[in-house]
Chain A
Amino acid sequence: MGKYIVKRVIMAVFTIWLVATITFFIMFLVPGGPFLAEKSPSPATLEALNRKYGLDQPVIVQYKNYMLNLLKGEFGESIKQRGRTVGGIISTGFKVSARVGGIAILVSVLVGVPLGCIAALNRGKWLDSLINVIATFGIAVPSFILSTVLMMIFSVKLKLLPTYGLSSWRHYIMPVMALSFYPTAYISRLMRTSMLDVLGQDYMRTAKAKGLSQFKMLFKHALRNAILPVVTYLGPLIAYTLTGSFVIEKIFTVPGLGNEFISSITGRDYTMIMGTTIFLASLVIIMNLLVDIAYKIIDPRIKLK
């Protein structure tokens, strides 16, 4: 166990370093610097700006400097948004994204797991088919399509919900719905198969023979074992919510991290690109690691290599 964790942590750190390095060098392949978009700066200003941000040095030296700063936990200053540090922008943006994403993850687990259980318990009946149809659609419809259709129905036609911003709880409804539809569908499918699998096990028959109540049988014996695949899905789910938020944030004009990432790329804000990429990549990688370890703790039968 300890050896496994150490190995995985080393690999995670290596992957983060790799992502940072790849991003750094890809970024410098893109022609056009961060200052070209501004109203034609004079060569002297340009030179001064480049010197200020260390962009006049060879790429290798810049890379070394950046990595050394990164080790100290410093992301540097944003080139485009003067006077703001990348760390500050990330933390404000992330707070917004995490709130929407966190609610979406919560909703998808809280809705997906019961749906899957209901489908499994009513196997072959109309309720099962209904849930199956919903889940199939949930997997097929891309989130950006869903969110625009939602917007059309609830804001344009019914005029019930606001289309942009995040100032009240009503603003959260559509982004959360759009973001959680796919994972809800996926979790309910996952839950259905694993629940069916568990219900057919011998220990379930034993529990029934002992005369346990339906409630106890379901919650104490079946659910605990059936929920394992959902736990493994949490890692990819977090990654999905993050990337899904790029588009959701654009559609609903939510001032989150996804928006910052896209605008930093189009604006060639080098430090912001690096900061957001490293931050998001580390988040996904660390979450995956934690999920794998949690899996081992929940189910001791799993042998980790």
Chain B
Amino acid sequence: MNNKHKPFSMHLDVSDFLPADREEKQSLVIMRESVSFWRDGARRFRRNKVAMASLIVIILVFIFAFVLPYFYPYGYEQQIRGSENLAPFKYSALERARIEAGEKVFPHFLGTDELGRDLTIRLMMGSRISLLVGLVASILILIIGSLYGAIAGYFGGKVDLIMMRIVDIIYTVPDILIIILLMVTLKYPLQDLANSVPGFGWINDIGIGLISIFIVFSLLYWVGMARIVRGQILSLKEQEYVTAARALGASHRRIIGKHLLVNCIGPLIVTTTLQIPSAIFTESFLSFIGIGVQAPMPSLGSMASDAIGGIYSYPHKLLAPAIMISLIILSFNLLGDGLRDAFDPKLKN
């Protein structure tokens, strides 16, 4: 009997059960490689011109702040006698004499300040401080906020309630008030610690101002991160793979660390990047009102505030740090926006 003419017949076609030949196998192979999370995001990110431009600017600023000072002939504390308050590209009488004698004198691109310190190197060091504050503070916030949020979200119930109430309270505390108070207060115990307790000398190396900024940030600024992570964890913990991990006997610690936090890496990266400009902003604000980074270490904020006195005669002294701060904050903001669009489209508003 020939089955071909009876399409509704229940008889089976034997040819369907023959082993597939080479050609048929080929057609079933998935030609396109599966696109991983990272590659997908990176592709979207590369297509974003604004974000790429800001990334390049940030890399340039990093080179300016961390590499160039090693090749620069002046130090940031070095007071060049006779070269006080020079305008950009000007030489002092002493230096002119040296040039005429055939010596090479490195130009002061941005001039010098009232103590004869070269402003270009101070701008570099100031940017270094800003970047350091931004990065370290964001990493601290990332660690504290994500762990706190993950624990609250994962355990839920009473733990969540109490932990998030604490977050709510810290959230409503006006941060700048407490920061200013803490900055002034922390100076003295830290000084004691650095000078009298052995093993804490490194505090002086980094600078008391910077350490207090880090402490203040890790006390107050992690709450936003904690809220975002908690929200993510709340939905992630209902996923099957978490149930599977639990069924296999994974500890809470392992589930949070290996399964949950890894899966909200997108929001974590984006929130951390967007935290950097706000940390830089707060640092420059504090240094501007005179309670941030301490002299002789320059900070963009303190450089701007020093320049106000001479605003009539030396406006360039103000413009240089002003442009630098704005450039850093702007490019980190744009980078963060780009990363958000690339890695975490859901987060957009």
Q: Chain A: residues with CB nearer than 8 A to chain B?
A: 11-12, 14-15, 18-19, 22-23, 26-27, 29-31, 136-137, 139-142, 144-145, 148-149, 151-152, 156, 193, 239, 242-243, 246-247, 250-251, 261-262, 265-266, 273, 277, 280-281, 284-285, 288
Contact = CB atoms under 8 A, between A and B. Distances in A.
A151 B181 CA distance: 29
B150 interface: no
A139 B333 CA distance: 9
A15 B177 CA distance: 14
A139 B281 CA distance: 11
Contact of B176 (A27, A193, A243): A243
B273 interface: no
| Chain A to chain B: the 4 pairs with minimum beta-carbon distance, closest first | A140-B330, A243-B176, A145-B322, A284-B174
Contacts of A239: 174
A295 B14 CA distance: 70
B188 interface: yes
Contacts of A242: 174
A29 B187 CA distance: 10
B173 interface: yes
A13 to B, nearest CB: 11
Contacts of A243: 174-177
Contacts of A136: 330, 333-334
Interface of B: 165, 168-169, 172-178, 180-182, 184-185, 188-189, 277, 281, 284-285, 288-289, 301, 304-305, 307-308, 311-312, 315, 318-319, 322, 325-326, 329-330, 333-334, 349
Main SS at interface, chain A = helix
Contacts, number: 113
Contact of A11 (B168, B319, B322, B329): B168
Nearest to B175: A243
Nearest to B331: A140
B187 to A, nearest CB: 8
A152 B311 contact: yes
A148 to B, nearest CB: 6
Of the listed residues A19, A144, A280, the one surrounded by the most CB atoms of chain B closer than 10 A to its CB is: A144
Contacts of A141: 326, 329-330
Contacts of A246: 176, 180, 289
Given A18-B169, A247-B285, A281 B315 contact: no
A246 B291 CA distance: 13
B124 to A, nearest CB: 18
Nearest to A246: B289
A156 B311 contact: yes
Nearest to A23: B181
Nearest to A262: B289
B289 A140 contact: no
A33 to B, nearest CB: 13
25 contacts: A11-B168, A11-B169, A19-B178, A27-B181, A136-B334, A140-B326, A141-B326, A144-B285, A145-B304, A145-B322, A149-B319, A152-B311, A156-B315, A243-B175, A243-B177, A246-B289, A247-B285, A251-B308, A265-B184, A277-B177, A277-B181, A280-B174, A281-B173, A284-B174, A288-B172
